[in-house]
């Protein structure tokens, strides 16, 4: 599978999709939920117990004291740490983390983690998206807790992970505020776009080899907030299928979203010039949109910005 590992989602997808789909879970039709989003409640004191791994996995870790030397091996976790006010507790972040400005970027890798190199920062908490290279067991031997925050499966899952990070770092109130603000802003963005009688269809390009997303993927669920449907749903090949050019042309999507411009130089002009693509509705209607790859791939506080970006695009698409 030739998915370029230049951004968070693309890297994880390449590493995991060989044997299974990266994301799973039913599509949420709402940005809010009546179910609890954390496995622990904390008053800010320690020790605390938080869920590690997929939401609902039942795997918990205990953090004995407020961490003061955190290592983040996930760009999404890095953004979350700063959003909840734990930035001054972070000593090192991985080589894919690039937001916010001024973070302590190192050559540590979340995709091929080196336990010895991580321990060089004397961490009292490590946060990662996956247990690569026996990361968890290696850190357990050194008595360092590891909080795993895998790729989110829904927006509610994003909220749950933010709350977990907040509790684990002693910032529960700040985390609750971040989640509350996100819910409000996302709901407002969705409400700002009038519903359509016929749903818009889209093709979200992850890579120029035409890997894409379905409506049930995490990315697809964001589009689904606006009633949009992925043309890849008809392929029945999992949440992240590879389509043929002929399939895309025949499906004739209303919009094309490019998540491979920053990494790979794909432009709207290049897409329009592909053989047979110039007659598609998305091309003739000037509905090819370049996305910020980080916003469209990371499951953290800036999901709000991605929802707003999609809202702005959908709002300007003419009605039939």
Q: What CATH number does the domain containing 270 carry?
A: 3.40.50.1980
In this prediction, residue 17 carries a pLDDT of 38
Asked if residue 143 belongs to a domain, the reply is yes
What is the per-residue pLDDT across 227-246, written as a single tens digit (0 to 9) for each? 999 999 999 899 999 999 99
What is the per-residue pLDDT across 172-200, written as a single tens digit (0 to 9) for each? 999 999 999 999 999 999 999 999 999 99
CA dist., res. 283 & res. 286, Å (int):
5
In this prediction, residue 254 carries a pLDDT of 98
In this prediction, residue 320 carries a pLDDT of 67
Same domain, 161 and 87: yes
Asked if residue 78 belongs to a domain, the reply is yes
Same domain, 169 and 209: no
Asked if residue 228 belongs to a domain, the reply is yes
Same domain, 262 and 150: no
Asked if residue 159 belongs to a domain, the reply is yes
Same domain, 87 and 163: yes
Q: Which of 1-5, 83-87, 222-226, 261-265 has the lowest mean pLDDT?
A: 1-5
Same domain, 151 and 214: no
What is the per-residue pLDDT across 9-61, written as a single tens digit (0 to 9) for each? 444 443 333 333 333 332 333 343 333 333 444 456 899 999 999 988 889 99
Same domain, 147 and 205: no
In this prediction, residue 35 carries a pLDDT of 34
Region 263-292 average pLDDT: 96
Same domain, 219 and 281: yes
In which domain, by residue range, is 80 found? 48-189
pLDDT tier for residue 263 given thresholds of 50, 70 and 90: confident
In this prediction, residue 160 carries a pLDDT of 96
Q: Which of 142, 172, 189 is the last residue of a domain?
A: 189
Asked if residue 20 belongs to a domain, the reply is no
Same domain, 233 and 142: no
Same domain, 263 and 277: yes
In this prediction, residue 143 carries a pLDDT of 97
Same domain, 74 and 120: yes
Asked if residue 1 belongs to a domain, the reply is no
Same domain, 219 and 256: yes
In this prediction, residue 55 carries a pLDDT of 85
Across the chain, mean pLDDT equals: 88
For the whole model, what pTM was predicted? 0.86
Asked if residue 317 belongs to a domain, the reply is no
* Phi-psi label, residue 75: left if phi above 0, alpha if psi -120 to 50, beta otherwise: alpha
Indicate if the pLDDT at residue 7 is higher than 90.
no
In this prediction, residue 43 carries a pLDDT of 56
In this prediction, residue 297 carries a pLDDT of 86
What is the per-residue pLDDT across 120-148, written as a single tens digit (0 to 9) for each? 999 999 999 999 999 999 999 999 999 99
What is the per-residue pLDDT across 94-124, written as a single tens digit (0 to 9) for each? 999 999 999 999 999 999 999 999 999 999 9
In this prediction, residue 147 carries a pLDDT of 98
Same domain, 144 and 238: no
In this prediction, residue 9 carries a pLDDT of 45
Region 287-316 average pLDDT: 95
pLDDT tier for residue 293 given thresholds of 50, 70 and 90: confident
- CA 110 to each of CA 107, 118, 148: distance values in angstroms, whole numbers, following the listed order: 10, 10, 11
Asked if residue 28 belongs to a domain, the reply is no
In this prediction, residue 281 carries a pLDDT of 97
Query: Could you give the number of structural domains in the chain?
Result: 2
Q: Which of 160, 189, 218 is the last residue of a domain?
A: 189
Q: Which of 167, 189, 211 is the last residue of a domain?
A: 189
In this prediction, residue 124 carries a pLDDT of 98
């Amino acid at each position: 599978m030739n998915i370029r590992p230049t951004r968070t989602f693309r890297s994880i997808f390449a590493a995991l999709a060989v044997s299974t789909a990266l994301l799973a879970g039913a599509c949420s039709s709402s940005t809010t939920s009546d179910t609890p989003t954390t496995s622990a409640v904390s008053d800010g004191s320690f020790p605390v117990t938080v869920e590690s791994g997929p939401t609902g996995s039942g795997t918990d870790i205990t953090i004995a004291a407020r961490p003061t030397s955190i290592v983040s091996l996930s760009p999404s976790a890095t953004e979350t740490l700063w959003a909840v006010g734990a930035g001054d507790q972070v000593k090192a972040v991985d080589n894919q983390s690039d937001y916010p400005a001024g973070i302590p970027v190192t050559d540590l890798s979340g995709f091929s983690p080196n336990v010895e190199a991580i321990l060089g920062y004397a961490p009292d908490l490590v946060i990662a998206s996956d247990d690569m290279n026996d990361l968890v067991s290696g850190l357990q031997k050194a008595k360092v807790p590891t909080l795993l925050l895998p790729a989110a499966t829904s927006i509610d899952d994003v909220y749950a992970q933010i709350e977990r990070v907040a509790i684990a770092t002693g910032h529960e109130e700040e985390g609750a505020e971040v989640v509350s603000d996100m819910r409000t802003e996302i709901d407002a963005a969705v409400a700002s776009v009038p519903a359509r009688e016929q749903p818009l269809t889209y093709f979200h390009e992850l890579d120029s080899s035409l890997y894409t997303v379905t409506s049930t993927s995490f990315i697809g669920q964001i589009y689904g907030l606006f009633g949009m449907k992925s043309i890849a749903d008809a392929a029945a090949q999992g949440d992240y299928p590879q389509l043929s050019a002929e399939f895309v042309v025949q499906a004739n999507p209303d919009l094309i979203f490019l998540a491979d411009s920053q990494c790979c130089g794909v432009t709207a002009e290049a897409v329009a010039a592909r053989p047979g693509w110039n007659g598609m509705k998305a091309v003739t209607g000037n509905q090819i949109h370049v996305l910020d790859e980080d916003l469209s791939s990371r499951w953290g506080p800036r999901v709000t910005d991605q929802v707003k970006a999609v809202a702005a695009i959908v709002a300007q698409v003419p009605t039939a």
